[in-house]
Amino acid sequence: MSTADLVTDFLEYCELEKNHSELTILNYEHYLRRFLEFAGKKAGDNFGPEKIDLDLVRSYRLFLNRYTDQYGHNLKKITQNYHIIALRSFLKYLAKRDIKSLSAEKLELGDAKRKQIDFLEFDEVVKLMDAPFSDKKQDNELIKTRDKAILEMLFSTGLRVSELVGLNISQVNLDRGEFMVRGKGSKDRVVFMSEDAKHWVNEYLKLRTDDYKPLFIRALTGKYQEEDGEYFRLTARSVQRLVKYYTKLSGIIKTVTPHTLRHSYATDLLINGADIRSVQSMLGHSSITTTQIYTHITNQQLRDVHKAFHGKRRG
């Protein structure tokens, strides 16, 4: 069986057995097809998995490092690493099937710059949360209350924007202030709401006169009617626009997106003493490594503690 056939088997395995998301599978396919194209030129189109060795991988990494697109742009180091991660996952699959090839453990990732995490300071969060009701251009109480509820939900739950807009009224328990959400890779996790988020979602729902399913909908205009209200469900793009609008209105000079509020949620938990495993669970990260990108943010907090309490007896 050729390596190309085995890649197809691997992608089907990711879909059926590993339950990876459609996006993950598409990315794996893209990265592995690029490897097949490169390796095919080196070892022949129908090369077997036994032809994959460290020399071939080293040549492939040089190819990725020197690769430029039609605009003359190089691949970022993190993108190069994604290619190697996909290849490593494929090699682990081959080992699982007892197919002779290079050991996945021999592939090392290149050094990449730590991803920059943007988050809001506490006073900036307060300004942003207050922005909807300070908007003098908006006189629609329903829209202001909806937007206030959205901002409070994003900050208090750490939801991804896709998870937020996918919520239905029936799945949110306002009495308990918690609900289940299905995130990346179809993984379910419990989400907790703050008292502010519970209050404003409840206020928003009291103003709603429809019986549509979606928790957050756009303004109802005209006489268009449908059974479940999917047509009116707020989109991720709409939420991104409203966050951008209220950021500007509140005078915050940072670029703020719904994901910035997710970062702020995680950072707030860590700074206030939450352990990283709990934060991992609440964010829905499958790997602790993903959550660890937030730990360097709290280094300043540790530095302040050190400065305040260390060496006082020597003064």
Among residues 106, 135, 160, the one where a domain terminates is 106
181-185 long-range contacts (CB < 8 A, ≥24 apart) are 181/284, 183/284, 184/21, 184/160, 184/284, 184/286, 185/19, 185/20, 185/21, 185/24, 185/286
Catalytic residue selected from 60, 82, 246, 294: 294
In a domain, 315, yes or no: no
Asked about 259 being catalytic, the answer comes back as yes
pLDDT digits (tens, 9 = 90+) for 276-294: 888 888 888 877 777 777 7
CATH of the domain at 155: 1.10.443.10
Please say if 30 is a catalytic residue: no
CATH number at residue 18: 1.10.150
Please answer whether residues 213 and 230 qualify as being in contact, where contact means their C-beta atoms are separated by less than 8 angstroms: yes
- Tens of pLDDT along 72-87? 889 888 899 999 999 9
Centre a 10 Å sphere on the Cβ of residue 202 and count the other Cβ atoms it contains: 14
Domain finish residue from 106, 137, 172: 106
Whether 147 and 288 map to the same domain: the answer is yes
Q: Is it the case that residue 307 has pLDDT exceeding 90?
A: no
Q: Which of 20, 88, 127, 160 is catalytic?
A: 160
133 and 63 housed in the same domain: no
At 151, phi and psi to the nearest 5?
-60, -45
Q: Which of 144, 233, 262, 263 is catalytic?
A: 262
Number of domains in the chain: 2
User: Does 114 reside within a domain?
Assistant: no
- Of 267 and 113, the structure prediction assigns the larger pLDDT to 267
Q: What is the mean pLDDT of residues 124-136?
A: 93
Q: Can 184 be counted among the known catalytic residues? A: yes
Are 129 and 93 within one domain? no
Given the residues 61, 83, 146, 285, select the one marked as catalytic: 285
- pLDDT over threshold 80, residue 161: yes
pTM: 0.67
Residue 111 lies in a domain: no
Residue 263 tokens read as 């970062």
Task: Please state the rounded mean pLDDT for residues 43-68.
Answer: 89
- pLDDT (0 to 100) of residue 115: 61
Q: How confident is the model at residue 108, as a pLDDT?
A: 85
Which position among 184, 208, 213, 244 bears the catalytic label? 184
Q: Is 146 a catalytic residue?
A: no
Q: What is the pLDDT of residue 258?
A: 94
pLDDT in tens, 215-252: 999 987 655 566 678 889 999 999 999 999 999 999 99
> What mean pLDDT, rounded, does the chain reach?
87
Specify if 151 maps to a domain: yes
Stated length of the chain: 315
CA 203 to centroid of chain Cα atoms: 29
Instruction: Decide which of 48 and 1 is more confident.
Output: 48
Tokens of 40: 């095919």
Q: Is 160 a catalytic residue?
A: yes
The predicted structure's pLDDT at residue 304: 62
User: Does the residue 43 lie in any domain?
Assistant: yes
Picking from 43, 75, 106, the residue at the C-terminal end of a domain is 106
Long-range contacts of 178-185 (CB under 8 A, 24+ apart): 181/284, 183/284, 184/21, 184/160, 184/284, 184/286, 185/19, 185/20, 185/21, 185/24, 185/286
Q: Which of 51, 77, 208, 259 is catalytic?
A: 259
pLDDT band at 156 (very low <50, low <70, confident <90, very high): very high
Domain that holds residue 197: 122-304
Higher-scoring residue by pLDDT: 197, 296: 197
